[in-house]
Chain A
Amino acid sequence: MSSGNHHFVEDKKLARIIVVTSGKGGVGKTTTSAAIAMGLAKKGHKTAVIDFDVGLRNLDLIMGCERRVVYDFINVINGEASLRQALIKDKRCNKLFILPASQTRDKEALTQEGVGKVLKDLSKEFKYIVCDSPAGIERGAHLAMYFADDAFVVTNPEVASVRDSDRMLGILASKSRRAENNKEPIKEYLLLTRYSPKRVESGEMLSVEDVQDILSLDLLGVIPDSKSVLNASNSGTPVILNKESSAGQAYSDVVSRYLGEDKPHRFINKEKKGLFNKIFRTKQWAY
């Protein structure tokens, strides 16, 4: 691997660490983590996705590998298992590995030193490390973002979520390794999820522009509210693998955009119903 290209040189490591965070619960952090990790891996980048929600793990379920969990993140931190033993290789994509959270251990077992060591070891082998943050601003959430290079701030177009996202931005700016070492700050991106263009048009939902005005963040993507997200979690398949679904397509765009491709935003405006669409409902919205 060449070490001559852009930002990877700075830290003398290969991996880029992404935290998926929000402050508020239930906005789509785990759905997003699963989707973008799968998307990055499908693009050929060796990717690890880590569940930081100790005691309430769910990434395994969303990824569909819940029956294959033997060792977990805390086991690795405590030296009870090696990374190799704990990482679960995805069955659909051989570039993707999942590190599940511990379901039973006390949260105190998650230490800054331990997390730092695991991330450093993973960095030797992986190109991207996706940290799925728990809700709230306690230890798990703090450690999920502490070592990050990039932050995907998952936000719903709704007052409580926007406020909590802004709170997270404050924490990202002040309580990360980059902030403490006076390095270039964490790059923050807005990911607006559960978006309903129809409700925006009728004035019952904050628009993309509204949320951007308030948070002043670079927009990485808008994920439309879609039935396919629940269907995907029901079956343990990251929604990005559903090429028919609007949410899946939107996540694909997000991954491409993150990797530097120029993709125009989709699913922001209400679908114009032409005569054709009225007769044959387009697949994109039906699923």
Chain B
Amino acid sequence: MGLLDYFRTSQQSSASLAKERLQILVAHERTSRNQPSYLPRLQQEILAVIQKYVEVEDNAISINYEQDDNQEMLELNITLPENHTKNH
């Protein structure tokens, strides 16, 4: 603690901290900007369907949308609990 830490933390300039934060934020905002507006609702409805059959948490589903020059890809990721088949 103390003096050594002070020198260690002050090594990163505030400008480079700003750049780091901006790069992460801007990348995130750009991906969500290019997503179709129906995506959040689609995610909710798919979750509801899955929950009819399997007990999964609300955050067990993730949707990733990617677009390049000639294709759009919708990636759907569902994390199933280990014992999900037992109830059926």
B23 within 8 Å of A (CB atoms)? yes
Q: B1-42: contact bitstring with A at CB < 8 Å (1 yes, 0 no)? A: 000000000000111101101110110011001000000000
A214 within 8 Å of B (CB atoms)? yes
Q: A129-160: contact bitstring with B at CB < 8 Å (1 yes, 0 no)? A: 00000000000000000000000000000110
A205 within 8 Å of B (CB atoms)? yes
Output the least CB separation between B8 and chain A (Å).
16
Q: Which of A195-213 contact B (CB under 8 A)?
A: 200, 202-207, 210, 213
CB <8 Å contact, A167 and B29: yes
* Other-chain contact of B30, A158, A159, A166, A210 (Cβ < 8 Å): A166
Determine chain A's interface SS by DSSP, over half rule: helix
CB <8 Å contact, A210 and B15: yes
Provide the bound-state CA to CA distance between A210 and B21, in Å: 12
CB <8 Å contact, A214 and B30: no
A163 within 8 Å of B (CB atoms)? yes
B13, B14, B22, B30: most-surrounded residue (chain A CB, <10 A) = B22
CB <8 Å contact, A206 and B25: no
* Other-chain contact of A163, B15, B16, B19, B25 (Cβ < 8 Å): B25
Task: State how many residues of chain B have any CB contact under 8 Å with chain A.
Answer: 14
Contacts of B30 in A (CB 8 A): 166, 170
Determine chain B's interface SS by DSSP, over half rule: helix
Given contacts A166-B30, A170-B33, contact A203 B14 (CB under 8 A): yes
A162 within 8 Å of B (CB atoms)? yes
CB <8 Å contact, B16 and A203: yes
Provide the bound-state CA to CA distance between A21 and B50, in Å: 46
CB <8 Å contact, A213 and B23: yes
A167, A204, A210: most-surrounded residue (chain B CB, <10 A) = A210
CB <8 Å contact, B15 and A200: yes
Q: A177-219: contact bitstring with B at CB < 8 Å (1 yes, 0 no)? A: 0000000000000000000000010111111001001110000
* Other-chain contact of B19, A167, A202, A204, A214 (Cβ < 8 Å): A214
Given contacts A159-B21, A210-B19, A213-B19, contact A204 B26 (CB under 8 A): no
Of all chain B residues, the one with the shortest Cβ separation from A216 is B26
CB <8 Å contact, B14 and A163: no
CB <8 Å contact, B13 and A203: yes
Output the least CB separation between A215 and chain B (Å).
8
Provide the bound-state CA to CA distance between A214 and B28, in Å: 12
Of all chain A residues, the one with the shortest Cβ separation from B21 is A159
Provide the bound-state CA to CA distance between A167 and B19, in Å: 16
8 closest Cβ contacts across the A-B interface? A203-B13, A210-B19, A170-B33, A166-B26, A203-B15, A159-B18, A214-B22, A206-B15
4 new A-B contacts at CB < 8 Å, known A170-B30, A206-B18, A214-B22: A203-B13, A204-B14, A210-B18, A210-B19
A: which residues have CB within 8 A of B?
Answer: 158-159, 162-163, 166-167, 170, 200, 202-207, 210, 213-215
11 A–B contacts, CB within 8 A, in A order = A159-B22, A162-B26, A163-B25, A163-B26, A167-B29, A203-B13, A203-B15, A206-B18, A210-B19, A214-B22, A214-B26
